[in-house]
């Protein structure tokens, strides 16, 4: 039975979580449909407390009650659903279980369970031990964005050795990254971002040889060197059967206090689509091996202390690249030494380069980027004029334009009608001249200080 809402967008439950504003209670007769194997009433107009009669559906394989206005004071009714393979209670209000860990004992009565989704349920307490684990076939466990506040990870977690996906983001475990996590050798997706994790990643990641997505941003790994981590990630120990297949696709490692440099062996992660290393303590040069990542779509290296030279070799095979962010804390210590007329193989939608030497020329590799929606080239040493043709060819979806703290010369075309979504314009501290152009009426930020503009202000500015 599928009673999902046909409303095209997910509705957010109101502040009175589980109030009658969301709709009517789940009909009691659902509990009489004892042959039912599939029940999906997610995003539906039902609300209030989940009726325990759902526990009568002993043949149920699939149950999805997510993202509506449901409340459950306990999960006792679950323990009778021994055939259940998929359970999704995301955003069901379980906050009344605060201080009570029995909810997990009820889940532990589901021996056939393969997927468990309990994200954003307001759960505060999680048992650190369970005795015997009955749901050892679990493949997906999502308990993200709850109120767990413990000093360690639950030890039963590391007995779920069949897990493929583990999502515990936005909780407070306040604990070192447990070495036992290495038991989960089949993990393909691991998200521990913003979860109060500390310590070292290397001793764990070296055994997680099937990882495709690793999200650890917003934690504290200040004792971790980047070389250590990378060596562990790309060299599984003892050449076991679980050889690293180098299929990692997403690495989210921002805001972790990681130090060290990026090793040349990064070029071996040929499936990598997202590399996020921003807001760390990293330094050194950026290796040419980066240019081998032909699947890379997002490169985020902002807010570190990079140095050295970037050439065409760093970008030569990045045909899928859509976004690049490079910000060095040390001014002009990182130099883009790219031939003026080089045409890159990618079309960016976002470029954010700050405190790096890109100029003095506004080269063809920049002029060829005409699909940009976000442009930040600040303190890049550009003293060239920007061809009017580039502005005219830019995507009409442009929303941010920042060219501040350069020495860019020349006049600007009137682009009021060309960029209807442009709402942030920062051209300060340059040498733009001539009359002020017309700007989009949607602009909320307009900074033109320290330029050589002349003549009267357009009516749009004076009004």
pLDDT higher for 208 or 321?
Answer: 321
Is 8's pLDDT higher than 90? no
Comparing 206-215, 269-278, 347-356, 393-402, which segment has the lowest mean pLDDT? 206-215
Is 21's pLDDT higher than 90? no
Is 171's pLDDT higher than 80? yes
- Which pTM does this prediction carry? 0.74
- Per-residue pLDDT band for 242 (boundaries 50, 70, 90) equals very low
3-state secondary structure of 267: helix
- Per-residue pLDDT band for 6 (boundaries 50, 70, 90) equals low
Contacts of 8 (CB under 8 A, 6+ apart): none
Per-residue model confidence (pLDDT) at position 51: 87
Is 294's pLDDT higher than 60? yes
Is 355's pLDDT higher than 90? yes
Per-residue model confidence (pLDDT) at position 12: 47
User: CA torsion 301→303→307→308, rounded to 10°?
Assistant: 30
Looking at residues 165-174, what average pLDDT do you find?
A: 94
Per-residue model confidence (pLDDT) at position 17: 43
Is 14's pLDDT higher than 60? no
Quote the percentage of the chain above a pLDDT of 90.
Answer: 55
222-232 pLDDT, tens digit each: 666 666 776 66
Is 212's pLDDT higher than 60? yes
187-196 pLDDT, tens digit each: 999 999 999 8
Per-residue model confidence (pLDDT) at position 240: 31
User: CA torsion 353→354→359→365, rounded to 10°?
Assistant: 0
pLDDT higher for 300 or 257?
Answer: 300
Residue whose token pair is 């971790």: 224
Q: Which domains does the chain have, with CATH numbers?
A: 20-374 (3.80.10.10), 375-463 (no CATH)
CA 270, 231, 251, 85 torsion-angle sign: positive
Per-residue model confidence (pLDDT) at position 234: 61
Across the chain, what does the average pLDDT equal? 86
Looking at residues 127-142, what average pLDDT do you find?
A: 93
Look up residue 339 and give its two tokens.
Answer: 């031939």
29-87 pLDDT, tens digit each: 888 898 999 999 988 777 888 989 999 999 999 999 998 778 988 899 999 999 999 99
Contacts of 132 (CB under 8 A, 6+ apart): none
Comparing 30-44, 145-159, 430-444, which segment has the lowest mean pLDDT? 430-444
Is 244's pLDDT higher than 50? no
- Per-residue pLDDT band for 13 (boundaries 50, 70, 90) equals very low
Q: Tell me if 393 sits within 8 A of 414, measured CB to CB.
A: no
What is the Cα–Cα distance from 289 to 235, expressed in whole angstroms? 17
Cβ of 9: how many Cβ atoms within 10 Å?
7
Phi/psi of residue 230, each to 5°? -65, -40
What is the Cα–Cα distance from 249 to 188, expressed in whole angstroms? 10
Look up residue 54 and give its two tokens.
Answer: 């759902």
Q: Tell me if 217 sits within 8 A of 276, measured CB to CB.
A: yes
Would you give the distance in Å from CA 364 to the centre of its chain? 31
Is 461's pLDDT higher than 90? no
Per-residue model confidence (pLDDT) at position 371: 97
Q: How many residues does the chain have?
A: 463
Comparing 137-141, 146-150, 377-381, 455-459, which segment has the lowest mean pLDDT? 455-459
Per-residue model confidence (pLDDT) at position 232: 66
CA 142, 70, 171, 213 torsion-angle sign: positive
Q: Tell me if 141 sits within 8 A of 158, measured CB to CB.
A: no
Phi/psi of residue 2, each to 5°? -120, 110
* Closest to 269 in 3D by CA, of 301, 308, 296: 296
Comparing 170-179, 247-256, 292-301, 422-431, which segment has the lowest mean pLDDT? 247-256
Per-residue model confidence (pLDDT) at position 20: 37
Give all strands (DSSP E) within 234-349, no chain letters.
Answer: 250-252, 259-260, 274-276, 281-284, 298-300, 305-306, 308-310, 323-327, 334-336
pLDDT higher for 340 or 420?
Answer: 340
pLDDT higher for 238 or 33?
Answer: 33
């Amino acid at each position: 039975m599928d009673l999902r809402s046909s409303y095209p967008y997910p509705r957010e439950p109101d502040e009175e979580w589980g109030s009658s504003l969301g709709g009517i209670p789940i009909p009691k007769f659902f509990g009489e449909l004892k042959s039912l194997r599939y029940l999906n009433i997610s995003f539906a107009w039902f609300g209030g407390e989940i009726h325990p009669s759902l526990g009568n559906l002993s043949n149920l394989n699939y149950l999805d009650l997510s993202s509506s206005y449901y409340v459950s004071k306990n999960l006792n009714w679950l323990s009778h659903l021994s055939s259940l393979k998929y359970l999704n209670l995301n955003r069901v209000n379980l906050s009344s279980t605060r201080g009570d860990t029995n909810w997990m004992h009820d889940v532990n009565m589901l021996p056939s369970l393969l997927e468990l989704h309990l994200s954003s349920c307001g759960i505060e307490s999680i048992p650190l031990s369970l005795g015997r684990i009955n749901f050892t076939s679990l493949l997906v466990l999502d308990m993200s964005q709850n109120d767990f506040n413990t000093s360690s990870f639950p030890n039963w977690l590391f007995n779920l050795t069949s897990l493929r996906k583990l999502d515990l983001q936005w909780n407070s475990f306040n604990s070192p990254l447990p070495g036992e996590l290495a038991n989960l050798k089949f993990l393909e997706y691991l998200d521990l971002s913003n979860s109060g994790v500390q310590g070292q990643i290397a001793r764990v990641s070296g055994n997680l040889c099937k990882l495709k997505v690793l999200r650890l941003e917003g934690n504290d790994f200040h004792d971790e060197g980047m070389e250590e981590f990378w060596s562990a990630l790309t060299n599984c120990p003892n050449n076991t059967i679980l050889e690293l297949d180098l299929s990692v696709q997403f690495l989210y490692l921002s805001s972790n206090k990681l130090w060290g440099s990026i090793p040349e062996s990064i070029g071996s992660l040929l499936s990598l689509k997202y590399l996020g290393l921003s807001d760390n303590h990293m330094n050194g040069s950026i290796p040419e091996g980066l240019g081998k990542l032909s699947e890379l779509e997002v490169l985020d290296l902002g807010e570190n202390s990079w140095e050295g030279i970037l050439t065409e070799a760093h970008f030569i095979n990045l045909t899928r690249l859509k976004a690049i962010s490079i910000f060095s804390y040390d001014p002009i210590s990182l130099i883009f030494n790219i031939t003026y007329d080089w045409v890159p193989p990618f079309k960016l939608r976002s470029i954010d380069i700050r405190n790096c030497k890109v100029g003095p020329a506004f080269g063809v590799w920049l002029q060829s980027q005409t699909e940009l929606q976000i442009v930040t080239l600040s303190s890049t040493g550009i003293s060239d004029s920007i061809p009017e043709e580039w502005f005219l060819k830019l995507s009409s979806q442009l929303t941010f334009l920042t060219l501040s703290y350069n020495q860019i010369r020349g006049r600007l075309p009137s682009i009021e009608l060309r960029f209807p979504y442009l709402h942030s314009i920062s051209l300060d501290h340059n040498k733009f001249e001539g009359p002020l152009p017309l700007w989009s009426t949607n602009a909320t930020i307009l900074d033109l200080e320290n330029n050589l503009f002349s003549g009267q202000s357009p009516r749009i500015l004076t009004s």
